Amino acid sequence: MSGVATTLNFSTNCLTGTIPSVVGQLVTLQVLDVSRNNLSGGIPTELCNLAKLQILSLRRNRLTGFIPQALNQLNFLAVFNASLRPSS
């Protein structure tokens, strides 16, 4: 599987802005960790295209809106964490 991304770990990188919808095009992705940043906006529905995703960690950001229902269709998703950032 040379050249195929299976893990993206951008945790604790002081990231701001929104989660790019193009991440949903990384169809081989198994782990996406963007926890402990300052991301805002909603969870892109395009993440529901990640059929091989096993771990999705969005915790400790400033995300708003609804959790896309189609995430329930991800058969391999074993860990989903979208807990809130504690208030300062």
Residues of the chain with pLDDT under 70: 1-3, 85-88
pLDDT of residue 3: 62
Are 27 and 50 in contact, with CB atoms under 8 Å apart?
Answer: yes
Q: What are phi and psi of 76, to 5 degrees?
A: -95, -5
| 44 belongs to a structural domain | yes
Split into its structural domains, the chain has a count of 1
> 56's torsion region: left (phi>0), alpha (psi -120 to 50) or beta?
beta
CATH of the domain at 11: 3.80.10.10
Structural domain boundaries, residue 34: 7-81
| 20 belongs to a structural domain | yes
pTM of the model: 0.90
